[in-house]
């Protein structure tokens, strides 16, 4: 690790160089790291694929993974996709929304807002609940017009949206509620799967996610007719050898990915338990540090501990979020400004009146304050505690 | 194999039952079958992925496969995709075409026309050259309007389009030429890669393709700025950690697929050679059978022998295409009506004036007459010859 510290940061933080020398990790602690299934077991599972010579198009492992996901997640239908962007794109197409507006959040990954663009739908950005950082039902209610076609909400960091309120608003206005549940694998609300809520929810199985197939995703729904339409649309809209129902796309998952998923699914609860220890270690050290807001722990929610986003208030903490991000890198801790910037800042989205920062004060502040700390089971409570100590010492040094 | 022959077909074909008894394959001969790399070598290659814990986002094997494809195909830039539909979708987005028309062919797989829909571009269907079944330059020329934004042509069955004429038309009207080259892996024209032609070409690596990664695809281009834009767009439009350039999508290929591709690339020329023997065997038996048109073999083209489409003239052959397709199934020969129907018949496309069947007589006839016979290396010349004999005997029996 180089000791060439940024002079501006060194000047702001008393005694940074000795602190780095004492605390720096010998290898990078990235924001996340995928768990790999035993390679021998992966090979064993592929033997059948090799025998069948069936690599994609609803293969045997693909079917098995869909059935096992339905059981594991407690949902009626799970349909696999090549990734979690295409699944969300197809969800919107499957709902057959006419051109118009979709009420959504700007505090998300580009995919959420981009799939509206691909579906010829205009985003109406609305502001967040300051605690969960999810879309605020009051703001949703105020955003309805006669052009509203759907609500597209995100369970950010696996924190449940106010699902009952959103359901009521959707029903009241006769529009579906779609969840980008990329972060919400396995989350329970009041002892039930969070994924039961909404007309359809989209999961991501990207390598950075709790449950991964390398690239991958899924749609879950309780609506059998919608599920059937989804399955056709992800395969070009093909219904049978001579019939195409709609201008679909190819969003199919291959057997190579499904095999990986089957093995990971077996161990995903162990990974959640290990991540719970990591987030608990962060909480033990960071709870009460001035200027830091830790993620909420609602009593009626079983979180999946996928992320540990902290909000950094510069005045109270002594460093702003970007300074803390830069300082942590000196210690080989690679945190992530996630989500930053807001999608409402993109050139093609900021033209909408709802993208005005004045309309989105909570989201604007969150994007500037949020920092996701490393979370993955193997990191362990000891390393998480050490990262927490580094953050605490940075605070002490910056606000002596 | 059941001997319950369709009575109508039995009546049309004298002595069908004894013929089926004598000639039926004991196991299905599907239209294609993927070649699998040795599973041990696949596992060996994955060992590095497991060590690196890097499953996607421009992984090491992904980079290697791109470099090896560039060398193998003789192209400047090859960019990998999760499938060949997303690659074509991103190609059109990368060219930054304003809303308008794209001159294209209706004789193709749904993907080609569907990606126009996703890019808010209107297809202008034009008719085919009756020999190659590719878009006819004369018809392209007549289709230009002030709304024309691009030419999207398909090298069907790996038969090259009239690339020089299309280049000239594109240049004359100031619009790019895009090739759906899903069938054209490794095809040479005048001793040069066919993929050198056009502004960008899209390949498919689906399991049914000559070169496969299970699901997969690629874009090839000689335009370095376009390649850079393509790489950003397939990863959400992200340029760096804090910059998103355009409303891109996720179309990334994972390491699991790239590893498969690296091993298949090594042997793809052997597969082409084996398929050449299969198509040669078909030609030996079927050449001269009344009512059948075999695919052309232009002297200046090195085909990849991916497909063997025959055109069935019912009056001269004695059976129409659908009857021949049905009759072959009785022999356990699973041919494919590919492409049928035309994409201009889809409900959402047939509204365009250019979709009028009167505008597309060659394409309409081809879609009703074409039948792709099984082609894959392992089929072997003996089985291909036997399938050819079955077809010949069906002709004799139907036109005694």
Residue B286 domain-assigned (yes or no): yes
Do B301 and B258 share a domain, yes or no?
Answer: no
CA dist list (Å): B298 to A372, B159, B165, B189: 60, 9, 17, 9
Is B244 within 8 Å of B238 (Cβ atoms)? yes
Q: What is the mean pLDDT of residues A85-108?
A: 97
Nearest partner of B159 among B260, B309, B13, judged by Cα: B309
Query: Which residues of chain A make contact with B250, given a CB cutoff of 8 A?
Result: 83-86, 111, 215
**How do residues A323-363 score in pLDDT, each as one tens digit?**
999 999 999 999 999 999 999 999 999 999 999 999 999 99
Do B146 and B209 share a domain, yes or no?
Answer: yes
Is A224 within 8 Å of A77 (Cβ atoms)? yes
Q: How far is Cα B7 from Cα B351, in angstroms, rounded to an integer? A: 39
Question: Does pLDDT of B386 surpass 70?
Answer: yes
**How do residues A249-262 score in pLDDT, each as one tens digit?**
999 999 999 999 99
Query: Which residues of chain A make contact with B237, given a CB cutoff of 8 A?
Result: 110, 114
Contact B337 A241 (CB under 8 A): yes
Q: Which residue has the higher pLDDT, B249 or A239?
A: B249
Q: Which residue has the higher pLDDT, B387 or B400?
A: B387
* Residue ending a domain, choose from A224, A240, A265: A265
Provide the percentage of residues in chain A whose pLDDT is more than 70. 99
Q: What is the mean pLDDT of residues B188-198?
A: 98
Question: How far off is chain B from A261, nearest CA to CA, in Å?
Answer: 12
pLDDT band at residue B242, thresholds of 50, 70 and 90? Answer: confident
Question: How far off is chain A from B151, nearest CA to CA, in Å?
Answer: 20
Contact B257 A254 (CB under 8 A): yes
Question: Does pLDDT of A2 surpass 80?
Answer: no
A27 backbone dihedrals φ, ψ, rounded to 5°: -135, 150
Question: Does pLDDT of B122 surpass 60?
Answer: yes
Structure tokens at A72: 């594991």
Q: How far is Cα A286 from Cα A25, in angstroms, rounded to an integer? A: 19
Q: How far is Cα B133 from Cα B94, in angstroms, rounded to an integer? A: 28
Do A73 and A148 share a domain, yes or no?
Answer: yes
Q: What is the mean pLDDT of residues B310-320?
A: 97
Q: Is A99 on the interface with B (CB under 8 A)?
A: no
Q: Is A344 on the interface with B (CB under 8 A)?
A: no
Question: Does pLDDT of B3 surpass 60?
Answer: no
Do B169 and B231 share a domain, yes or no?
Answer: yes
A21 backbone dihedrals φ, ψ, rounded to 5°: -60, -40
Query: Which residues of chain A make contact with B84, given a CB cutoff of 8 A?
Result: 250
Q: What is the mean pLDDT of residues B193-213?
A: 98
Q: Is B144 on the interface with A (CB under 8 A)?
A: no
Do B68 and B98 share a domain, yes or no?
Answer: yes
Q: Which residue has the tokens 């390679």?
A: A39
Do A130 and A145 share a domain, yes or no?
Answer: yes
Q: What is the mean pLDDT of residues B192-205?
A: 98
Give every strand in the sheet of A192-193, ordered side by side: A192-193, A188-189, A301-302
**How do residues A182-208 score in pLDDT, each as one tens digit?**
999 999 999 999 999 999 999 999 999
Q: What is the mean pLDDT of residues A86-114?
A: 97
Do B182 and B307 share a domain, yes or no?
Answer: no
Compare CB distances from A207 to B55, B115, B241 and report the shortest one's residue.
B55
Query: Which residues of chain A make contact with B254, given a CB cutoff of 8 A?
Result: 207, 214-215, 256-257
pLDDT of residue B11: 83
Is B138 within 8 Å of B110 (Cβ atoms)? no
Question: Does pLDDT of A3 surpass 70?
Answer: no
* Residue ending a domain, choose from B212, B233, B265: B265
**CATH at A296:** 3.90.1150.10
Q: Is the complex ipTM more than 0.90?
A: yes
Q: Is B244 on the interface with A (CB under 8 A)?
A: yes
A259 to chain B: closest CA residue: B256
pLDDT band at residue B10, thresholds of 50, 70 and 90? Answer: confident
Question: How far off is chain B from A17, nearest CA to CA, in Å?
Answer: 27
Compare CB distances from B252 to A215, A242, A340 and report the shortest one's residue.
A215
Do B17 and B117 share a domain, yes or no?
Answer: no
Q: Which of B256, B322, B346, B370 to mutate to test the interface with A (most CBs of A within 10 A)?
A: B256
pLDDT of residue A242: 86
Provide the percentage of residues in chain B whose pLDDT is more than 70. 99
Residue A354 domain-assigned (yes or no): no
Question: Does pLDDT of B13 surpass 90?
Answer: no
Question: Does pLDDT of B1 surpass 50?
Answer: no
* Residue ending a domain, choose from A207, A234, A265: A265
Contact B111 A43 (CB under 8 A): no
A47 to chain B: closest CA residue: B39
B177-180 and B301-302 as β-strands: parallel, antiparallel, unpaired?
unpaired
If one counts every other C-beta atom within 10 angstroms of the C-beta of residue A351, the result is 9
**CATH at B215:** 3.40.640.10
Q: Is B298 on the interface with A (CB under 8 A)?
A: no
Do B137 and B285 share a domain, yes or no?
Answer: no
Domain that holds residue B146: 39-265
Q: How far is Cα A148 from Cα A75, in angstroms, rounded to an integer? A: 28
Do B21 and B82 share a domain, yes or no?
Answer: no
Q: What is the mean pLDDT of residues B372-385?
A: 98
Contact B237 A34 (CB under 8 A): no
Question: In b/e form, how buried is each residue of B135-163, taking b as 16+ CB within 10 angstroms?
Answer: bbbebbbebbeeebbbbbbbbbbbbbbbb
Residue A149 domain-assigned (yes or no): yes
Question: Does pLDDT of A19 surpass 50?
Answer: yes
Is A305 within 8 Å of A272 (Cβ atoms)? yes
Contact B252 A83 (CB under 8 A): yes
Q: Is B46 on the interface with A (CB under 8 A)?
A: yes
A292 backbone dihedrals φ, ψ, rounded to 5°: -110, 135
pLDDT band at residue A10, thresholds of 50, 70 and 90? Answer: confident
| Among A residues 165-204, those touching chain B with beta carbons less than 8 Å apart | none
Residue B355 domain-assigned (yes or no): no
| Among A residues 51-70, those touching chain B with beta carbons less than 8 Å apart | 53-57
pLDDT of residue B238: 93
Do A200 and A67 share a domain, yes or no?
Answer: yes
Q: What is the mean pLDDT of residues B110-137?
A: 97
Residue B348 domain-assigned (yes or no): no
Structure tokens at B357: 């069947």
Give the list of residues 6+ apart from residue A313 with CB closer than 8 angstroms, or none.
Answer: A291, A292, A293, A369
pLDDT band at residue B4, thresholds of 50, 70 and 90? Answer: low
Give every strand in the sheet of A292-293, ordered side by side: A292-293, A308-312, A370-373
pLDDT of residue A4: 67
User: How many residues belong to chain A?
Assistant: 400
Do B171 and B191 share a domain, yes or no?
Answer: yes
Query: Which residues of chain A make contact with B83, given a CB cutoff of 8 A?
Result: 82, 250, 252
Nearest partner of B128 among B384, B367, B389, judged by Cα: B367
The number of C-beta contacts closer than 8 angstroms across A and B is: 150
Is A211 within 8 Å of A113 (Cβ atoms)? no
Contact A260 B257 (CB under 8 A): no
Question: Does pLDDT of B150 surpass 60?
Answer: yes
Count: domains in chain B: 2
Residue A81 domain-assigned (yes or no): yes
Question: How far off is chain B from A335, nearest CA to CA, in Å?
Answer: 12
Residue B244 domain-assigned (yes or no): yes
Query: Which residues of chain A make contact with B342, given a CB cutoff of 8 A?
Result: none
Residue B18 domain-assigned (yes or no): yes
At A26 the three-state DSSP class reads coil
Q: Is B37 on the interface with A (CB under 8 A)?
A: no
């Amino acid at each position: 690790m180089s000791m060439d510290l940024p002079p501006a940061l060194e000047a702001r933080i008393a005694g940074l160089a000795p602190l780095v020398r004492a605390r720096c990790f010998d290898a990078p602690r990235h924001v996340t790291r995928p768990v790999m299934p035993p390679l021998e077991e992966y090979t064993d599972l592929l033997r059948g694929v090799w025998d069948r010579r069936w690599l994609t198009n609803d293969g045997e492992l693909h079917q098995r993974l869909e059935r096992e996901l339905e059981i594991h997640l407690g949902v009626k239908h799970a349909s696999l996709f090549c990734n979690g962007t295409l699944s969300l794109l197809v969800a919107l197409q499957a709902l057959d929304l006419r051109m118009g507006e979709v009420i959504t959040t700007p505090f998300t990954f580009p995919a959420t807002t981009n799939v509206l663009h691909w579906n010829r739908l205009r985003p109406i950005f609305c502001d967040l609940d300051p605690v969960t950082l999810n879309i605020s039902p009051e703001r949703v209610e105020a955003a309805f017009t006669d052009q509203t076609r759907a609500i597209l909400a995100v369970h950010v960091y696996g924190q449940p949206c106010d699902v009952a309120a959103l359901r009521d608003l959707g029903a009241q206005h006769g529009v579906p509620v779609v969840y980008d549940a990329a972060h919400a694998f396995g989350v329970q609300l009041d002892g039930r799967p969070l994924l039961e809520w909404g007309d359809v929810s989209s999961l991501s199985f990207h390598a950075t996610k709790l449950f991964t197939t390398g690239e991958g995703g899924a749609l879950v729904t309780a609506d059998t007719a919608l599920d059937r339409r989804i399955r056709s649309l992800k395969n070009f809209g093909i219904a049978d050898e001579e019939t195409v129902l709609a201008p679909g796309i190819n969003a199919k998952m291959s057997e190579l990915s499904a095999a990986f998923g089957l093995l990971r699914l077996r161990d995903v609860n162990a990974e959640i338990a290990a991540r719970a220890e990591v987030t608990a270690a962060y909480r033990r050290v960071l709870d009460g540090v001035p200027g830091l807001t830790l993620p909420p722990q609602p009593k009626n929610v079983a979180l999946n501990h996928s992320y540990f986003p902290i909000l950094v208030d510069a005045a109270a903490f002594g460093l702003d979020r970007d300074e803390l991000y830069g300082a942590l890198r000196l210690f080989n801790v690679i945190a992530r400004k996630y989500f930053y910037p807001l999608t409402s800042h993109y050139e093609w989205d900021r033209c909408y009146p709802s993208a005005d920062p004045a309309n989105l004060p909570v989201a604007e502040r969150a994007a500037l304050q949020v920092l996701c700390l490393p979370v993955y089971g193997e990191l362990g409570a000891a390393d998480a505690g050490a990262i927490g100590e580094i953050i605490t010492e940075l605070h002490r040094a910056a606000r002596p």
